[in-house]
Amino acid sequence: TQLLEQSPQFLSIQEGENLTVYCNSSSVFSSLQWYRQEPGEGPVLLVTVVTGGEVKKLKRLTFQFGDARKDSSLHITAAQPGDTGLYLCAGGRRSGNTPLVFGKGTRLSVIA
Amino acid sequence: GAVVSQHPSRVICKSGTSVKIECRSLDFQATTMFWYRQFPKQSLMLMATSNEGSKATYEQGVEKDKFLINHASLTLSTLTVTSAHPEDSSFYICSASPGPGGQPQHFGDGTRLSIL
């Protein structure tokens, strides 16, 4: 069974602070997706990384895929209350339409 | 692009009722869709893989006679919770992918099911 360990599980920070969320696995993934979910809604795709060592930036969010494609991180700079939500990492395999392997999520709360 | 629509968004019904949830890919065809269940403050739990024109593949511990899945077309999959009971109350979410490799997945907005 492929597992994705996501940490931290909960994070409460003040507005303006920086934070990093980690996803780690002993398995190799062909891609790694990051989603953000707000209460009562479905997850919204933030980014997909597919190449080992790849770094993608989305405004104040920086995503990195590990060189070995077993881990990933999400770094948020100068967090804002609007960043509050559940962040989910999900690993994908290249072969066929296989389901994603989800981490347990990081519940982020940014306090103004 | 890559919009997935889920309906209804919220259902409240009496115990014993069967409830049907629809998942549609609006601007792409999806031979495979996925159904998840999410408990409060937890991550998504995969229930089953819905395959167009064939039987769904259920995850271990998910009762196929309880959660009926029909994938009648390339843009529609339905999940029917049969004879629902209060313990079936949950947030149900579907996903689909326009890509040939199934990545990335795009999610519907979910259905909040409450059984009284």
Provide block-wise average pLDDT over 10 residues at a time, chain B (116 residues): 89 96 93 92 91 89 95 93 96 87 84 96
- Residue A26 backbone class (left: φ over 0; alpha: ψ -120 to 50; beta: rest): alpha
Would you call A100 and B105 a contact, using CB atoms and an 8 Å cutoff? yes
Q: Tokens in use for A108?
A: 């982020």
Cβ of residue B7 closer than 8 Å to a chain A Cβ: no
How many Cβ atoms from other residues are within 10 Å of residue A91's Cβ?
Answer: 25
Q: What is the pLDDT of residue B85?
A: 95
A111 within 8 A of A12, measured Cβ to Cβ: yes
Confidence of residue A95 (pLDDT cuts 50, 70, 90): low
User: Which is nearest to A101 in space by CA: B109, B104, B32, B30?
Assistant: B104
Strand pairing of B67-73 and B10-13? unpaired
Q: Which amino acid is at A76?
A: I
pLDDT in tens, A37-86: 998 999 999 999 999 999 999 999 999 999 999 999 999 999 999 999 99
Q: Within A1-112, where are the H helices?
A: none
- Cβ within 8 Å, pair B101-A102: no
Where are any strands of DSSP class E within A1-112?
5-7, 10-14, 19-24, 31-37, 44-49, 55-58, 61-65, 71-76, 85-92, 101-102, 106-111
Nearest beta carbon to residue B44 from set A44, A94, A102: A102
With CA atoms as reference, report the closest residue to A21 among A93, A101, A103. Answer: A103
CB < 8 Å to B4, chain A: 42
Q: Can you list the positions of beta strands (E) in chain B?
A: 4-7, 10-13, 19-25, 32-38, 44-51, 57-58, 67-73, 76-81, 90-96, 106-107, 111-115
For residue B48, the chain A residue with the least C-alpha distance is: A99
